[in-house]
Structure 1
């Protein structure tokens, strides 16, 4: 693959990261629920072992991106830089404004569903274009690459493990909202990634 990324995947990664940033800021973050994947793991380590998420997140994300680079090559790294950089840029832009729907903070169920739609669509576009906006995405793409599974299943598996461990310090009701949002977003990521693909390639 050329070291110069193609225009269409770059555009898709930027569009996906913009959708993701918008949803996380305006909807998903207001639900007050924990996360699966790496973010949830950093919160778990911080609670039980007092390890700063700044350090644990850095290490875990780096390992996931390194694994993705080893398995999927330089193209993965280039498009992930576009996706991750685009997310940071777009998030910095949207947080300059107040949340559009602050009342969602009092409606965690609705916020979880709507947030999952934005996360699923945003990350799904990035993954479809070969990029990973976060370490969770790089890990799911790597597992999918190794096993041939549809990407929705690695997302679900990693999130479930973290959420089950999080029951050790987070109330069941709050975990329920988290489970709902990660299941919906993971399924949507798989749908967006495989949309239009030949039957049998994304099952």
Structure 2
């Protein structure tokens, strides 16, 4: 056990931990300053938890935890122990950062009345924040862990996996969310997924190859 921990410690890179921490703080800033104001949402686990809550009364605190746990378990199985370490750093960094940003008033409250601008700006925060964390070999949320795992197995470009999973959740969400709001949400998930894909082409992680057209 001691030797395994020592080996794992030797594999962990401080640079990747810093990137995972900074990228999660960047994403938390965007979600607080943009998404929480505009009502423009994301797909993936977040959208699925809201769907389960609306139709079956299952609290997101329960469904979100279980869904993320399953996704991280899959990621650990396919991507290794270092993935779990970087993901833990990113997840903890996101939670702490979001709590920190909540101590401040919104910088641009007018975004609440500008859903198109919010969709584009929000996509930049999500795409860049998530993209950097994935490049470091970690995942901020279960969505990212699952997308990385599928890309690792199928060799499909990760941007298409993000896009298909998010669209599937958003289409299901049409059962209770107005079409106009879904349209803006669809725009932000399409843009964010493409940004993540572009970032993967710029630089490939040594351990986890996420790109193939």
Contact 2:27 2:129 in 1 (8 A): yes
1:12 Cα deviation after fit: 1.1
The structure 1 segments of at least 4 consecutive aligned residues displaced by more than 6 Å after TM superposition are none
Structure 2: runs of 5 or more not aligned: 205-209
Q: TM-score, normalised by structure 1?
A: 0.95
Hey, what does 2:44 align to over in structure 1?
37
1:196 Cα deviation after fit: 3.8
Contact 1:31 1:105 in 2 (8 A): yes
Q: CA RMSD in A?
A: 1.5
Contact 1:18 1:90 in 2 (8 A): yes
1:193 Cα deviation after fit: 2.4
* Residue from 55, 58, 61 that aligns with 2:65: 58
Deviations 1:122-172 (A, max 9, x none): 000000000100011101111111101111111111101101111111111
Hey, what does 1:168 align to over in structure 2?
175
Q: TM-score, normalised by structure 2?
A: 0.90
Hey, what does 2:8 align to over in structure 1?
3
- Alignment partner of 1:16 is 2:16: no
- Alignment partner of 1:92 is 2:82: no
- Counting only pairs closer than 5 Å after superposition, residues 69-148 of structure 1 correspond to structure 2 as 69-148=76-155
Aligned residues: 201
Work out the CA distance in 1 between the residues paired with 2:42 and 2:17. Answer: 27
